[in-house]
Amino acid sequence: MWRRVSSLTQFVSPTKSSSILNQPAYTLKIWESFTTQLPNLEKGGISFKDRIPFITFVLGGPGSGKGTQCEKIVETFGFKHLSAGDLLRQEIASESEYGSMILNTIKDGRIVPSEVTIKLIQKEMESSDNKKFLIDGFPRCEENRVAFEQIIGAEPNIVLFFDCPAEEMVKRVLNRNQGRVDDNMDTIKKRLEVFEELNLPVVNYYAEKGKLHKICALGTEDEIFEQVWPVFAACKQLIQ
């Protein structure tokens, strides 16, 4: 059934721009400005009000179908869907302090500083009555992953990875017509570079930990969900 691992080579330029891929230094200042506002930082975790959370990270390149499959998982298994990209876009729309920085970062196909994204995810997790979370499009780099563990004080129970050939992802993104500032060929190329260089190491990390469930993201929505369903069905005890 398994076809092949995404081949990004034709979309990723041989000389990678360090300004795109060199992210961590950029996060330090933001971290300082957020430390006083992160309520549970000292405790190293957030309160789930006596609930044991079940956390799923949903990873995959741009256009690999993460959001579409998340909707199906929500319908079937009752998860709370937190799309990191959507939370960031809402933040831009609300014209918050960090809105223009987030907009410029997304336009460039780079990764928003961990603390900003995690703060938005944390707010949603804390205010939800649900204990089952689908965190879609995050973590996008090792630094995101480590920061999440430190700030939220939890690791994902499982990680889904939607594996899709680059040419298919490009086709889907260019055809989806959602009016997104980053759905153009220039930004897609950068997003694919960032995906390969920074996101795939996170995928590999969870594969080594035995938490990764690789899904072949080619086919109809229902065909893909046929691979997703058994992953959650096998966790029935924890998610009912």
What is d(CA 67, CA 51) in angstroms, rounded to the nearest whole number? 25
| Amino acid of residue 30 | I
Smallest distance, Mg ion to C-beta of residue 101, A = 20
Pick 46 or 111: Cβ nearer ligand UDP: 111
Binding of ligand UDP by 156 (CB under 6 A)? no
Of the candidates 27, 14, 174, 194, the one whose C-alpha atom is nearest the C-alpha of residue 113 is 27
Would you call 209 helix, strand, or coil by DSSP? coil
Number of H helices, E strands in the chain: 12, 5
Q: Is the dihedral of CA 38, 43, 47, 51 positive or negative?
A: positive
23 in helix, strand or coil?
Answer: coil
Closest approach of Cβ 233 to ligand UDP, in Å?
A: 25
Q: Was 112 annotated as part of a binding site?
A: yes
Minimum distance of Mg ion from residue 92's CB (angstroms)? 15
Point out which span in 26-34, 48-56, 91-99, 135-143 binds ligand UDP (CB under 6 A).
135-143
Q: Does 106 bind ligand UDP (CB under 6 A)?
A: yes
The sign of the dihedral angle between the CA atoms of 75, 70, 157, 114 is: negative
Interface map 165-194 toward ligand UDP (x if CB under 6 A): -----------------x--------x---
Residues that bind Mg ion (CB under 5 A): 67, 85
Is 137 one of the binding residues for ligand UDP (CB under 6 A)? yes
